[in-house]
Amino acid sequence: MTSETSSAATLRDNAEVAEALGRTYSAGFVTKLETVSLPPGLNEDTIRQLSAIKEEPQWMTERRLDAYRHWLTMKAPDWAKLKLEPIDYQAISYYSAPKAQPKSLAEVDPAILEAYEKLGVPLHERAALAGVAVDAVFDSVSVGTTFRKQLADAGVIFCSMSEAIRDHADIVQKYLGSVVPIGDNFFAALNSAVFSDGSFVFIPRGVRCPMELSTYFRINAQNTGQFERTLIVAEEGSHVSYLEGCTAPKRDENQLHAAVVELVALEGAQIKYSTVQNWYPGDENGKGGVYNLVTKRGECRGDDSKICWTQVETGSAITWKYPSVVLRGDRTIGEFYSVALTHHFQQADTGTKMLHLGKDTRSKIVSRGISAGRSNNSYRGLVKVEQGADNARNYTQCDSLLIGKKCGAHTFPYIEVKNPTAIVEHEATTSKISDDQMFYCRSRGIREEDAVSMIVDGFCKTVFRELPMEFAVEAKKLLEVSLEGAVG
Is residue 16 part of the contact set for other proteins (CB under 8 A)? Answer: no
Residues in the chain: 488
Is residue 454 part of the contact set for other proteins (CB under 8 A)? Answer: yes
What angle separates helix 44-53 from helix 186-194, to the nearest 10 degrees? 50
Is residue 322 part of the contact set for other proteins (CB under 8 A)? Answer: no
Identity of the amino acid at 278:
N
- HEC string for 206-251: CCECCCEEEEEEECCCCCECECCEEEEEECCCCEEEEEEEEECCCC
Closest CA to 345 of 85, 154, 63: 85
Is residue 204 part of the contact set for other proteins (CB under 8 A)? Answer: no
Is the Cβ of residue 31 or residue 396 nearer to other proteins in the bound state?
Answer: 396
At its nearest, how many Å lie between other proteins and the CB of residue 404?
Answer: 6
At its nearest, how many Å lie between other proteins and the CB of residue 323?
Answer: 20
At its nearest, how many Å lie between other proteins and the CB of residue 337?
Answer: 13
At its nearest, how many Å lie between other proteins and the CB of residue 236?
Answer: 32
Is residue 83 part of the contact set for other proteins (CB under 8 A)? Answer: no
Is residue 422 part of the contact set for other proteins (CB under 8 A)? Answer: yes
Please select the residue that binds other proteins; options are 44, 55, 253, 427, rule is CB under 8 A: 427
Q: What three-state secondary structure class fits 180?
A: coil
Please select the residue that binds other proteins; options are 442, 480, 481, 488, rule is CB under 8 A: 442
Is residue 153 part of the contact set for other proteins (CB under 8 A)? Answer: no
At its nearest, how many Å lie between other proteins and the CB of residue 156?
Answer: 35
Is residue 402 part of the contact set for other proteins (CB under 8 A)? Answer: yes
Is residue 417 part of the contact set for other proteins (CB under 8 A)? Answer: yes
Cα angle at 399 between 394 and 400, to 5 degrees? 150
How far is the C-alpha of 244 from the C-alpha of 224, rounded, in Å? 20
How far is the C-alpha of 202 from the C-alpha of 158, rounded, in Å? 7
How far is the C-alpha of 305 from the C-alpha of 355, rounded, in Å? 14
How far is the C-alpha of 303 from the C-alpha of 265, rounded, in Å? 9
Is the Cβ of residue 229 or residue 368 nearer to other proteins in the bound state?
Answer: 368
Is the Cβ of residue 173 or residue 391 nearer to other proteins in the bound state?
Answer: 391
Chain residues binding other proteins by CB under 8 A are 1-7, 9-10, 385, 387, 400, 402-432, 434-437, 439-448, 450, 454-455, 457-462
